[in-house]
Amino acid sequence: MNRRFALILLGSTVLAACAPPPPQLGPDGRPLPKLYRISSADARRIPFRALDAVNALRQGAGARPLELDSKLSAAAETHARDMSLQNRPWHFGSDGSSPIDRARRVGFDGQLLGETLSETYETELETVAAWLQEPGPRRVLLDPEARRMGFAFYQERNGKIWYTLNVGT
């Protein structure tokens, strides 16, 4: 009997040690967000996860799926880094460039239909979901004329992430 009790006690202790710690709560009583740190392995997968998310939304809206475009992604990457340097999410580059200018610079041969941006600490999927809630970004994501998408991010050392998504024909 004592041996059985000791084994149950030992097993319970081991299981308790495996449980994750309770979340830290903020002043409002809600769990504090976790820092989303992007690893180099995740960095390669993120554009494809964003593409899959956008295409799922487009399918639900009856729009054709998009293909990831390396030139639009290069323009998006340049702008994500530039927004970090400017410390503000907006559509103009520090050199005065527009989204169309940046797409032309990288040799994009289609028509740029739209660009959407984010300054956040959230994942790419949370960011796409947030864009869907805003009329302007929603129009960009679901534009029926769009056929190609560029997606990029830049993460600062403090964890802040700057996302840029471009769509074009």
Enumerate the H helices of the chain as residue ranges: 2-18, 40-60, 70-86, 99-105, 124-132, 135-142
124-143 tens-digit pLDDT:
999 999 999 999 999 999 99
Residue with tokens 């639900």, as numbered in its chain: 60
Residue with tokens 């004329």, as numbered in its chain: 145
Domain made up of 40-168: CATH architecture = 3-Layer(aba) Sandwich (3.40)
Task: State the pTM of this model.
Answer: 0.80
Domain range annotation of the chain: 40-168
Categorize the per-residue pLDDT at 1 as very low, low, confident or very high, splitting at 50, 70 and 90. Answer: low
